[in-house]
Amino acid sequence: MRQIYLQSKFYHLAKMPVIHASEEAKQRERALTIWETLCQQGMNREEASKVVGVSRASLYRWKRGLQLEGWKGLEKRSRRPKRVRKPSWSYELIEGVRSLRTLYPCWGKEKIKVLLEADGLMTSPSTVGRILTDLKRRHQIPIVDAKKRWKPKKRVKRPYAIRKPKDYAVQEPGDIVQVDTLDLHPFPGVHFKHFTARDVVSRWDVIEAFSKASSRQAKAFLSCLIERTPFPVKAVQVDGGSEFMAEFEQACAEYGIRLFVLPPRSPKLNGRVERAHRTHLDEFYAVFEPEGDLESLNKNLRSWEWVYNNIRPHRALDNLTPKQYIEHYHPGLISSQSSHMY
């Protein structure tokens, strides 16, 4: 290993007071001493500068400053020009840039330059850029944060709801019941929320209308669902609507019903209940004469629900009704939940 014997070539500095020298100046002097010593011992100046960890240009600059000014020559100096030319922009040009940037805060110097020239103010993009910088420094134009963009809302934590597991088996009625809502406007200024629940196996439907769709109304609909299905409901699948959070989610947990929430923007995964909406729109709401009150609407909905589940043949069930399908393929469920039947 090469032995380095430090012998400062700047011995005249020993006679100069260092009490006012900064720590950075002292470090630069030490780097110069090591560099000069390595060069005296035969090392190439470029290699020696790499050992010191300072570029050769900087070392030469420090050396010259040290020889000319002593310790002062090693101090860090501002690179700001001694003379700064004052801008000679016209008042009209400055006001033009300021007004355009205020009106269009996201436009840059190129676009502003084009608009200025259209108004007869000939200039260059670089001049517009300097004016913008000066106006920003004096807080005379709005500053737009380019990183600030519309961000999606943070996903709400769901204490009980989960995505449906890929290996979740759907084999009999009640394994998954899809639930969704539909907007109703029977008269101008009158608005209802129609809830539909459809069992994906038997196509059994439960329908009810409410004045609005909140988690409290969704909880009430869950009670209707449990009461009016002839089989135990094991899992419910919903979208990410706020009505299926809070009280609805808590009610599912209390009833022991699993709650599956769809990924965002995936209504096709709730295709059964979406198709149910269309059926009820085409076969009930298209012929029903609304009276405008919720009580009358729900009374008629209950009658239609009974017709749908007990009389209407369903093509997907080989023209059986949902009730007939359950009685034929899952008779045990009917007998154990007979109290739920109409």
Determine the Cα–Cα distance for residues 223 and 218; give it in Å rounded to an integer: 9
pLDDT at residue number 16? 52
pLDDT at residue number 149? 65
**Sole residue written with tokens 């600059």:** 61
Residue 335 banded pLDDT, cuts 50, 70, 90? very low
What is the H or E stretch that residue 68 is in?
A: helix 56-69
pLDDT at residue number 147? 65
Report the pLDDT averaged over residues 264-271: 85
Report the pLDDT averaged over residues 327-337: 74
Top-confidence residue, 288 or 3: 288
Residue 63 banded pLDDT, cuts 50, 70, 90? confident
What does pLDDT average to over the chain?
Answer: 85
Determine the Cα–Cα distance for residues 224 and 135; give it in Å rounded to an integer: 65
Report the pLDDT averaged over residues 52-81: 81
DSSP for residue 159? S
**Which one-letter amino acid corresponds to residue 81?**
P
For the chain, which residues make up each domain, given as ranges? 11-74, 91-137, 177-340
pLDDT of 83 > 80? The answer is no
What Cα–Cα distance (Å) separates residue 78 from each residue in 18, 81, 82? 21, 8, 10
pLDDT at residue number 112? 92
Whole-prediction pTM: 0.56
Residue 231 banded pLDDT, cuts 50, 70, 90? very high
Measure CA of the first residue to CA of the last residue in the chain; give whole Å: 98
* Chain centre distance of CA 196: 31
CATH number for the segment(s) 177-340: 3.30.420.10
pLDDT of 190 > 90? The answer is no
**Which one-letter amino acid corresponds to residue 326?**
I
pLDDT > 90 in the chain, percent: 47
pLDDT of 311 > 70? The answer is yes
Determine the Cα–Cα distance for residues 180 and 276; give it in Å rounded to an integer: 10
What is the H or E stretch that residue 210 is in?
A: strand 205-210
Token pair in block for residue 228: 């009016």
Count of C-beta atoms within a 10 Å radius of residue 66 = 21
What is the H or E stretch that residue 47 is in?
A: helix 45-52
Q: Which of 46-55, 68-77, 218-227, 272-281 has the lowest mean pLDDT?
A: 68-77
Which residues partner with 199 through β-bridges? Answer: 177
pLDDT of 151 > 70? The answer is no
Strand order across the beta sheet in which 205-210 lies: 205-210, 192-199, 177-184, 235-238, 258-261
Closest CA to 7 of 32, 43, 42, 25: 32
Residue 154 banded pLDDT, cuts 50, 70, 90? low
pLDDT of 1 > 70? The answer is no
**Which one-letter amino acid corresponds to residue 337?**
Q
